[in-house]
Structure 1
Amino acid sequence: MLTAYDAMTASVFDEAGIPVILVGDTMGACHLGYDSTVPVTLEEVLVLSAAVVRGTSRALIVGDLPFGTYQAGPEQALRSATQLVKEAGVGAVKLEGGERSARQIAMMVSAGIPVMGHLGLTPQSVNAFGGNLVQGRGETAARRLLQDARAVQDAGAFAVVLEAVPETLATEITAALDVPTVGIGAGPDCDAQVLVWTDAMGLTPGRLPRFVKTYTALRDTLGDAARAFADEVVSGAFPAAEHAYR
């Protein structure tokens, strides 16, 4: 699974055979210029999810429920998820939280909306965590995370994202669940893996989390191309004769 936030990028991943594309609230930091996921609105997720849906033909598109669109209870969660399915055309939704989100998950699933859970480091709760910290360390925290994972599964979620979780705990949770786990910083034993596409493709500047593998230097490639364009415009090399209409 990779994230995507626009039709063109999503079409590339779709053609490459990526089976699941997440329109994550990570758009806040890597697409909309926010300093976290917290300010992201449902309207923003709707617009970008619809674009991703239009750019794909085979991948399952999962739309994130942003902060403040499901915490009030099951009815609010169902209204938000229904908008994403009806207006954007996503095939499933994702939300954060374990036992505290179980009622919301059950309500959406009962209405026919597939739901993906998200446990561990849940970015919408970064203020409560005191930062982007690994979750599930220590016996008590590990037991709680396993309990949350079971609650999410029992509520009807079809998969669970595990983010920034110790490898041994992620392995234990994966073995304990009947639904697949999707790891991001949770080791190799999860059933699937997800990365934010701008991280994986080398577009995100600065220091990245240790769990990120960068597969290409896209920021350098784009920068070099932009500088080449500017230089050719200044020198008069572009546009050349072949770029003009007769």
Structure 2
Amino acid sequence: MAEHPAEVQITPEAIRGRKGGAPIVCLTAYTYPIARLLDPHADLLLVGDSVAMVLHGHATTLGATMEMMIMHGQAVMRGCRRACVVVDMPAGSYEHSAGQALASARRIMDETGCHAVKLEGGTDMADRIAAIVYAGIPVMGHIGLQPQSVEKEGGYKIKGRTQEDSKRLLADAQAVEKAGAFSVVIEGTVEPVAADITRRLSIPTIGIGASAQCDGQILVIDDAVGLTVDRVPKFVREYADLRSAVADAAQRYAADVRARRFPGPEHVFQPKGKSAP
């Protein structure tokens, strides 16, 4: 199954070194079995705060908690051998101060054993990124559409559609870079702006709803395999249709149970010395 015969751990520094090279393959992962399946194929697995929506049914990522992120981070780390694992810092865990951000980052690293943390924000969060990096913890940035700001901004709004907004995005990206982040996610940003930012930065950009010119791409795994049961975002390509597969399996199972076709003789246990009829 593995594309790489040797399980060499991919580090944040190795991701940084991929700038301008082979595209970086990134996916979200929230559970042990999914991590096991994705690990041979992905360079980076993000335990995203999207888990609050995807697995826990919240309307936004604001439902994610530190406990939730740590629990899922631990599960993913148990399933990984080679991919670089990054855990999202949930809303409310870093915005108050650089001290709060560092304490939260340390807790995530200590309790999950992950390789890096990710937080949203640009110029406004540069001092938080710098404090965490200074303490020796790798940080992935996140600019453009920031899901943790959905309530403040009144919805999910594509970024970079005006000259002023484009300048602000570039300033955010450069601030994240200067603060010491090893890479930065660019989300929900018009293509030419995301491509221009990618050319201007010395660290890799990871696109989602951005540009093919980014140094890497990321998708939510449930979106990518067709498990999303609500609205599928425009920027998603579904590589499988597991919605139909799961629904079909459940339908056939229900029919077999109701018709007493399951369990069959091969699925039950008999007393010692008595064989199944």
- TM-superposed CA distance for 1:207, in Å, is 2.7
1:137 aligns with 2:161: yes
- Of the three residues 75, 85, 92, the one matched with 1:61 is 85
For 1:6, the equivalent position in structure 2 comes to: 31
For 1:32, the equivalent position in structure 2 comes to: 56
Distance in 2 between the 1:86 and 1:134 partners?
A: 35
* TM-score of the aligned structures, taking structure 2 as reference length: 0.87
Distance in 2 between the 1:166 and 1:234 partners?
A: 52
Counterpart residue identity of residue 178, structure 1:
S
What is the DSSP-based 3-state SS (H/G/I as helix, E as strand, rest coil) of the residue aligned with 2:143? strand
Distance in 1 between the 2:229 and 2:236 partners?
A: 13
CA deviation string 1:14-70 (max 9, x = no partner):
13x211100000011111111101121111101111011011111111000000000
- TM-superposed CA distance for 1:177, in Å, is 0.2
For 2:124, the equivalent position in structure 1 comes to: 100
What is the DSSP-based 3-state SS (H/G/I as helix, E as strand, rest coil) of the residue aligned with 1:183? strand
Distance in 2 between the 1:218 and 1:106 partners?
A: 41
What is the DSSP-based 3-state SS (H/G/I as helix, E as strand, rest coil) of the residue aligned with 2:207? strand
Distance in 1 between the 2:121 and 2:242 partners?
A: 33
- TM-superposed CA distance for 1:206, in Å, is 3.3
1:202 aligns with 2:226: yes
- Of the three residues 226, 230, 253, the one matched with 1:229 is 253
Higher relative contact order (CA 8 A, sep 6+): 2
Distance in 2 between the 1:89 and 1:226 partners?
A: 36
1:75 aligns with 2:99: yes
Counterpart residue identity of residue 33, structure 2:
M
For 2:76, the equivalent position in structure 1 comes to: 52
* TM-score of the aligned structures, taking structure 1 as reference length: 0.98
Distance in 1 between the 2:158 and 2:84 partners?
A: 28
CA deviation string 1:147-186 (max 9, x = no partner):
1100000000000000010100011000000000000000
What is the DSSP-based 3-state SS (H/G/I as helix, E as strand, rest coil) of the residue aligned with 1:194? strand
After TM superposition, the structure 1 = structure 2 runs for residues 102-181 of structure 1, keeping only pairs within 5 Å, are: 102-181=126-205
- TM-superposed CA distance for 1:227, in Å, is 1.2
RMSD of the alignment, in Å?
0.9
Distance in 2 between the 1:209 and 1:234 partners?
A: 37
For 2:46, the equivalent position in structure 1 comes to: 22
- TM-superposed CA distance for 1:137, in Å, is 1.3
- Work out the percentage of aligned pairs sharing the same amino acid: 46
Note the residue ranges of structure 2 that are not aligned, 5 or more in a row: 1-25, 271-277
- TM-superposed CA distance for 1:241, in Å, is 1.4
Counterpart residue identity of residue 187, structure 2:
E
Distance in 2 between the 1:117 and 1:207 partners?
A: 26
Note the residue ranges of structure 1 that are not aligned, 5 or more in a row: none
Counterpart residue identity of residue 192, structure 1:
G
> Which consecutive aligned stretches of 4+ in structure 1 deviate over 3 angstroms post-superposition?
none
Counterpart residue identity of residue 214, structure 1:
E
Task: Decide which structure has the larger Cα Rg and report it.
Answer: 2
Distance in 1 between the 2:256 and 2:211 partners?
A: 46
